[in-house]
Amino acid sequence: MEIIKVEHLKKDFIIYEKEPGLKGVIKSFYNAKKIIKKAVDDVSFTINQGEIIGYIGPNGAGKSTTIKMLTGILTPTSGEVKVDSVIPYQKRTLNAKKIGVVFGQRTQLWWDLPLIESFTVLKEIYEISDIDYKERLSYFSNLFGLDEFIKQPVRQLSLGQRMKADIVASLLHNPKILFLDEPTIGLDVIAKENIRKTLKDIHDKYQTTIILTTHDLADIEELCDRIMMIDQGKIIYDGSLETIKAKFGSKKIVCFTLKADSMMDLTVFDRLKKKDPDLIASIEDSKLTVVFNKLKIKVGDIITPVLAQTDVLDIDISDDHLENIIKAIYKNGF
């Protein structure tokens, strides 16, 4: 069932460019140069209930701006946005009851209050019943080990504890939809893993629809059924990770460490290039690297001629990293 619908959504920011220096400040009152930044530029998508979506893109691509329009913090310049039948910026309070929001870069908790007091305040704001509140708090305490730090003021929490606290705060009222903007940013591996596991658990238990922006592709690999990729305000890919891997993930890399000063004639690969024109072989500092399509060439066909020709100390075989694949899509499109 469709829960979010976005059509031709746009957000322009008007930026006034000043000339540097005091003269620039005075001058800028009269004729500052007006620049229109298209932060989100004609974006359309629909999201079904229960999906977990990874919203990815380079810095400044428009991810946070999209999330802010979905959560009602920003009003679109044009286009339509509906979240569970509500237009978020028109009905902010009603929308707030249906959604949970976490901005990894800043907390929505009260800095000086002990964490538990922030939760109590939220319980009142969202009119959560005693029974529900108790049930959810003990559920999250188990997942996140909240007891360790729930009595401390928020400002004393570590970044990982603070992020967990923010996630709990966003979920106390059991929203249908959870928006997470960079929920694992700056966290250590263990805290990241804990957060991913918890999000999965919450999704299994409540079928919460989850939309998260992230720079960490492990978040995507472990959590998301679907990826939306945005670049310069435009969606450049919307689909599964499998599709990306099937199209771009067929590259394999074989790296040989050669004995110092050994000779290697790269024309041995000419025959293989007929099978895979994209094959690349290069040598640098006694390292021979061959990148090729594993659907077209077998690893053995690469290794055999090399071993026949030169002294090899070590061989390392790997798949192309997802990170490289994603970078290539930003650069060349899907």
Ligand X SMILES: Nc1ncnc2c1ncn2[C@@H]1O[C@H](COP(=O)(O)OP(=O)(O)O)[C@@H](O)[C@H]1O
Q: Which residues bind ligand X (CB under 6 A)?
A: 13, 15, 37, 39, 57, 59-65
From the list Mg ion, ligand X, none, which binds 31 (C-beta under 5 to 8 Å, kind-based)? none
> What minimum distance in Å lies between the beta carbon of 179 and Mg ion?
12
* CA angle centred on 226, ends 220 and 227, rounded to 5°: 65
- 64 is a contact residue toward Mg ion (CB under 5 A): yes
88 binds, among Mg ion, ligand X, none (CB under 5 to 8 A by kind): none
Nearest CB to ligand X, comparing residues 43 and 61: 61
183 binding partner (options ligand X, Mg ion, none; Cβ < 5 to 8 Å by kind): none
**Rg of the Cα trace of the chain?**
25
| Residue 65 near Mg ion by CB under 5 A | no
The rounded distance, in Å, linking the Cα atoms of 226 and 283 is 38
Q: How far, rounded to the nearest angstrom, does the alpha carbon of residue 93 sit from its chain's CA centroid?
A: 27
Q: How far is the CB of 198 from ligand X (least distance, A)?
A: 23
CA distances from 129 to 126, 135, 281, 315 (A): 9, 10, 65, 62
What is the distance, to the nearest Å, from the Cα of residue 177 to the centroid of all Cα atoms in its chain? 17
Residue 62, binding choice from Mg ion, ligand X, none, Cβ under 5 to 8 Å by partner class: ligand X
Structure tokens, 293: 């399509």
Report the partner that residue 57 touches, choosing among Mg ion, ligand X, none (CB closer than 5 to 8 A by kind): ligand X
Residue 211 binding result from Mg ion, ligand X, none, given CB thresholds of 5 to 8 Å by partner type: none
Give the DSSP per-residue string, 179-198: EEESTTTT--HHHHHHHHHH
In the region spanning residues 221 to 260, those forming contacts with Mg ion, defined by CB under 5 A, are: none
Give min distance, CB of 48 to ligand X, in A.
23
**Region of 28 on the Ramachandran plot (φ > 0 left; ψ -120 to 50 alpha; else beta):** alpha
CA distance 123 to 139: 15
Nearest residue (CB) to Mg ion, 58 versus 79: 58
Q: Of 13 and 111, which CB lies nearer to ligand X in the complex structure?
A: 13
Rounded to the nearest whole angstrom, what is the least distance from the CB of residue 98 to Mg ion in the complex? 22
The residues that touch Mg ion, with contacts defined as CB under 5 A, are 63-64
